[in-house]
Amino acid sequence: MTVTRAVALGCGHYLPARIVENAEFAGQVETSDQWIRERTGIERRHFAAEGEATSDLAIAAARAALAHAGIDGREIDAIILATATPDATFPATATQVQQAIGAGGFAFDVQAVCAGFMYALATADALIRGGQARTIMVIGAETFSRILDFTDRRTCVLFGDGAGALILRAEEGAGGTADRGVLGVKLRSDGAHRDLLYVDGGPSTTGKAGKVRMEGPEVFKHAVVKLADIAHEVMEAAGVSGADVDWMVPHQANLRIIASTAKKSGLPMEKVVVTVQEHGNTSAASIPLALSVAVADGRVRRGDLLLMEGIGGGLAWGAALLRW
């Protein structure tokens, strides 16, 4: 019996031109390059230029993904853009990408912060399997530099700007783990922990965008446990184990979180895609950005089984298996 799978056609990413090294923060807050590297693994990040919006980053990544897939924007039936930093409250930033690449169908945003790409991927998979769309572009794009408090060393050194895009198309599979495409997705959230990672503003509260606030140690504890648990959950549901996974492509928030989660998931660091040192935490963009980098440099090859996972404010988290 055949099943419909959401199969990857191509991917792409974009990073703003401005590179911000750790040393730049030393004159703003009590920190140092060594302090940041030891606690996070981050060495540098990219910040959007003045006037460069989230839509600009998303459009550049979308065009890169189209080029990689070798298709035209008119072949895209839907665009799902994961972002916590949209250009405006409305309309959806995804509609600007739609117009820019000449896509038809429909386009909308989803918001689950650093887990946003997992939520967008799950939505795309469901739409494809349900026959709502044949070819969907899933994008994660952020300009977190716009909502950072540069007097708060707990947050300002962690985040960067960027975008990553993945194109999925409906194809028939045999229904087993050897199929290409999305093999499983699991999502979770728990609003009881919203105060651990949040923005202190919004349209219906302060009328302003607000700034990022975080309780780092508590987020760390939750991240390691929740990500490892949901990784095992999605693997068990799909009928695979850590030994079957070729690459883990995690949310790039903190090297210690990545290492701890990989260990609990039964994966050696040699099988983990790590880009946090170059890009910092790009929130919803971090997973597709890391995936695109790994595909571009040849690490991820056709047929590889990927385990992707991310956690963010909400708390919201998720994991997915994708055979490239």
Q: Is 114 labeled as catalytic in the residue annotation?
A: yes
Q: Is 251 labeled as catalytic in the residue annotation?
A: yes
Whole-number Å distance between alpha carbons of 120 and 102? 21
Cβ–Cβ under 8 Å, residues 277 and 255: yes
Q: Is 193 labeled as catalytic in the residue annotation?
A: no
Q: Which of 68, 251, 254, 279 is catalytic?
A: 251
- The residue type of 296 is A
Cβ–Cβ under 8 Å, residues 187 and 116: no
Q: Which of 156, 193, 222, 281 is catalytic?
A: 281
Whole-number Å distance between alpha carbons of 201 and 212? 9
Backbone angles phi, psi at 87, to 5 degrees: -60, -40
| Sequence-distant (≥ 6) Cβ neighbours of residue 93 within 8 angstroms | 54, 55, 58, 81, 83, 86, 87, 109, 141
CB atoms within 10 A of CB 70: 8
Q: Which of 11, 22, 68, 114 is catalytic?
A: 114
Active site residues: 114, 251, 281
